[in-house]
Structure 1
Amino acid sequence: MNELERLRHAMRVTERPDAALDLAAVLREGRRLRTRRRIAGAGAATLAAGLAGVVVVVAVGVPRPGGPAPGERPPPVAVAPPSAGVSPPVERSLEPTPPPTVARDVPPPKALGRLVDSGVRHGDDRRVYYFVRVAVPGVPKVSIGLAAGRQAPDGSLTTDILVNDVEGSDRSAGFHEIGYDERSAAAPVPTFGYFVGPAQRITGAVDGRQVDARLARWSVDKQVVIFWFEPTQLTPGERLDGIIARDSSGRRL
């Protein structure tokens, strides 16, 4: 039996299910054959290298009882390249979002009639109430709203809260929208509103007690009564439990 036959015999032994791979014999015969064939020239060297490659594949493919020997490195793991035709992520330039348009230097609404001075002061400004024109789509009988603002010493106005009806008529008899301040801290707005009719007294109820409002008639229409509650009597933003208007004889309107 020559060297090549012995190498083939050593490899065929591994094909039997009950045979253990004699890796040392296979490698030994492979080395011997490779050494002998190397002398024969380039063609023989190529054959020996191919056979040695087969030996390596067999050694990796056959599991060894008890797992790999201590210190033995696991076979390398091949990582597939990205699939053809998959485009890399596209980098998008993020344009800065333009700032929102802010209306500046807009003149304050023109007051209809005279301003009503509440007697409340915020520094040099005085708290005033006044009516302004409004437009509610689909509600033609609502054309005025009541504003709570501040008037500076130079006469300029700053509107803090504006209330108006959103249905019906702004001149119908009775109470209309009431303004509550739930946000101001530096210049709180006293609770306010207006009543249409011959009211001489307006009383609010809160926590079981009665609080009288201050009254002033609108210079444009004397049937419209502007009212507000002193901050010392009703904390701005505190909700009323009820409100009543009475005429000069005390009759409830």
Structure 2
Amino acid sequence: MTEADRLRAAMQATEHAEWGRFDVEAIMRDGRRLRRRRWAVQGGTIVLAIVLVVGVAVAWDRPRPPEPAAPPHPAPTATATASTEQTPTGVATPPPVIGDVVRTGIWYGDEERVFYVVPVSVPRAPGVTIGLAAGRRAPTQQLTLDFLVNDVEGADRRPGFHQIGYEPSGEVLPDDPVPTFGYFVGPAAGIVGTVGGQTVTARLARWSADTDVVIFWFPPQALRPGQRLDGIRAWDARNREL
């Protein structure tokens, strides 16, 4: 063996030893543990990452423990910005509430789950001006916005169902999960969803600023937060399907 052959053999042995230090399966496993975290309004401009799914959008949520990864086939995305106001010190305040806050009777300790409408601005969608927020209200009346949904195209007052919001935490739910919720435009007197062939009934409340807008949510006892609906239907007061 020549000196060149000995040098080449030594380099190859060193390279294999270095390569052996990398556990590819461990690296991939660790990568899958990365999860997005939910975050809340603490001041500053609120930027909403909107996910378009069959004409609806799910946007912006609160801090949570590590969560499951996003679905394997992400949908197109757009960006919306919730309207904010500036205090004299230059710190942005949470978006203003339009109309009345809707109470649900769902409590997490001394905080109640509530729904309310806030103004939003969506690029290239001038017909979308409002979003529906799922929040919590403390005994002091302070609101914490947990989850916001809004359309990303068309008009936010067109007749029919609009966005539906789901608790995104997956199998392990937080202590204050967001019930499945959304809004319908029209004379809906009843809304039901189906899951695995079973019917679940939503609770309704008309928006005080526009009574054509019906806010609905499914109580956690009727529908596990985060569980996807197979279908959803609405009826008017004369039991006609809308």
- Shared topology, TM-score over 0.5? yes
Paired with 1:242 and 1:202, the residues of 2 have a C-alpha distance of 11
Q: Distance in 2 between matches of 1:225 and 1:190?
A: 16
2:121 is the counterpart of 1:132: no
Q: CA deviation at 1:105?
A: 3.8
Separation of aligned partners in 1, 2:163 and 2:127: 15
The equivalent position to 2:236 in structure 1, one of 236, 243, 247, is 247
List alignment gaps of at least 5 residues for structure 1. 1-102
- Alignment correspondent of 1:205: 194
Q: Is the 8 A contact 2:43 2:94 kept in 1?
A: no
| Higher normalized contact order (CA 8 Å, seq sep 6+, divided by chain length) | 2
Task: Give yes or no for contact 2:102–2:205 (8 Å, CA) kept in 1.
Answer: yes
Q: Report the secondary structure of 1:134's partner residue.
A: strand
Instruction: Report matched runs for 1:104-143 at 5 Å.
Output: 104-106=42-44, 107-143=93-129
1:81-102 per-position Cα deviation (integer Å, ceiling 9, x unaligned)? xxxxxxxxxxxxxxxxxxxxxx
Give the letter for the 2:142 counterpart: S
Task: Indicate the structure with greater strand content.
Answer: 2
For residue 203 of structure 1, give the secondary structure of its aligned residue in structure 2. Answer: strand
TM-score for the superposition, normalised by structure 1: 0.58
The ranges of structure 1 where at least 4 consecutive aligned residues each deviate by more than 3 angstroms after the TM superposition are 103-106
Q: Deviations over 1:119-172 (max 9, x none)?
A: 100111000000000000110000000000000111111111100000000000
RMSD, matched Cα: 1.5
- The equivalent residue for 1:182 is 168
Structure 2 gaps, min length 5: 1-40, 45-92
1:161 is aligned with what amino acid?
F
Q: How many residues of Structure 1 are paired with residues of Structure 2 in the alignment?
A: 152
The structure that is helix-richer by fraction is 1
- Determine the C-alpha separation between the residues in 1 that align with 2:142 and 2:168: 24
Amino acid at match of 2:184: F
Tell me the TM-score normalized by structure 2. 0.61
Which of these two proteins has the greater Rg computed from alpha carbons? 1
- In 2, the alpha carbon distance for the partners of 1:237 and 1:252 equals 26
In structure 1, C-alpha distance between the alignment counterparts of 2:175 and 2:184, rounded to whole Å: 28
> Which residue identity does 1:230 align to in structure 2?
P
